[in-house]
Amino acid sequence: MVILAGILIGAILGIVYVRRRNGNGFDVAQYAAVWGIIGAILGVVATIGIERLI
């Protein structure tokens, strides 16, 4: 669940970021994808950390 939340939050942050910079549709898609991937990676790291602590 943490990974999916990371993807969703990352994509939303990417969309907000590019909208503030007046990007076109391709920019929105690219930033949402990249920030979603970054969010997924952070979610994997968080999941591993949580599993190690428990």
Q: What is the pLDDT of residues 24-34, one digit of tens each?
A: 999 999 999 99
Please give the model's pTM, rounded to 2 decimal places.
0.87
The pLDDT assigned to 30 comes to 97
Q: How confident is the model at residue 37 (pLDDT cuts 50, 70, 90)?
A: very high
Q: What is the pLDDT of residue 17?
A: 96
Cα 44 to chain centroid, rounded: 12
Look at residue 18 in the predicted model and tell me its pLDDT. 96
Q: Give the dihedral sign, CA 24/30/33/34.
A: negative
